[in-house]
A = this chain, B = another copy of it.
Amino acid sequence: MPAPGRTAADLAERLLAGDKRALARAISLVENDSPEGWALVREVYPKTGRAAVVGFTGPPGVGKSTLIGRLIEDGRAREREIAVLSIDPSSPFTQGALLGDRIRLADHFLDPGVYIRSMASRGSLGGLSEATLQAALLMDASGKDDVFLETVGVGQAEVDIIDHADTVVLVLMPGSGDSIQALKAGVMEIPDVIVVNKSDHPLTDTMVREIRGVLSLGPQHGWRVPIVKTEASRGEGIEELVERIVEHRAFIEEHGTLDERRRRNLQSEVVALAAARLRRRLEAHVHDDESVQAFLDEVVARRLDPASAATKLLERAR
């Protein structure tokens, strides 16, 4: 018999009431791919969809976490409840940080209106993007006004995650030449808002001009992507950034884009969840079945081609 106060229904109730410890426990369940975690998401799912989900992406070292720290301060001043989910392995939320960053972030950890959580890029049992998206749903259900997702924007898993934000903010800094080239070449998708952080750098205006040049190549109708200069470590430009994020949300609500985006994202999430489960079954099979190892050896010896081996694997795993 479960201990009093520990039943699933009770956990759901406390989560919906905004209890921070219930939220932490719920996310751990999801992260460990526990059936209880999935059941919980199922129960609270009807209460989701209220939070504004903002994704922050960009190369490591541009100051995404410091920027998010400032946005938390700003949001708290306006009495908004905020959750942050970081899956950037280089983020101070996730692991090592400069001492100064740690101290600044520590304030937020103690604030009952703020919940910060990191997830390892690898090793989430149920697959990174699945766990992240479930965690974001739990944050939403717990009554947070804003859910901030922080990703490094390199791998496909990170891109899948950021795709689920209502508003995507790309953070760059002077020297982010590779990202500019990737935007220009169409290899990286155009975000909703672009931030040039560390704007006390002498090359900031050059960078802003380069970004304008890239944006001018794209479609000129609909939402015009704003470029905001910030100096997050000193809190400069934060108000303007907040305004732009709020404007973007108003724009997508007014034009029906929010519903459209969420529909597309939820549908692709369902397919991704199902595909990830199939893949995990397959991997378990490779791991457990010795005969599979035998025909994989044949592939290495060039006696059996990879595609035929894949067919054999699918037959065995059926």
A313 touches B (CB below 8 Å): yes
A221 touches B (CB below 8 Å): no
- Stretch from A97-105, A151-159, A241-249 that touches the partner: A151-159
Give the size range of A's interface with the partner: 35 or more
A252 touches B (CB below 8 Å): no
Q: When A45-B305, A307-B38 are in contact, do A178 and B59 touch as well, CB less than 8 Å? A: yes
A188 touches B (CB below 8 Å): yes
- Residues of chain B contacted by A177 (CB below 8 angstroms): 59, 173, 175-178
Q: Which residues 72-108 of A sit at the B interface, judged by CB distance below 8 A?
A: 88-90
A213 touches B (CB below 8 Å): no
Q: When A154-B187, A305-B45 are in contact, do A313 and B175 touch as well, CB less than 8 Å? A: no
Q: When A262-B300, A299-B270 are in contact, do A187 and B90 touch as well, CB less than 8 Å? A: yes
Decide: B60 and A185 in contact? CB cutoff 8 A.
Answer: yes
Decide: B275 and A60 in contact? CB cutoff 8 A.
Answer: no
Decide: B61 and A181 in contact? CB cutoff 8 A.
Answer: yes
Copies of the protein in its oligomer: 2
Of B48, B267, B304, B308, the contact of A296 (CB 8 Å cutoff) = B267
- Stretch from A18-26, A229-237, A276-284 that touches the partner: A276-284
A17 touches B (CB below 8 Å): no
Docked CA distance A248–B17 (Å)? 59
Residue of B nearest to A134 (CB): B307
- Residues of chain B contacted by A300 (CB below 8 angstroms): 262-263, 266-267
Docked CA distance A156–B49 (Å)? 29
Of B157, B182, B273, the contact of A310 (CB 8 Å cutoff) = B273
Decide: B306 and A269 in contact? CB cutoff 8 A.
Answer: yes
Q: Would you list 9 pairs from A and B whose C-beta atoms are within 8 A, ordered by A residue?
A: A41-B307, A42-B307, A152-B182, A155-B156, A177-B177, A178-B178, A262-B300, A266-B306, A267-B299
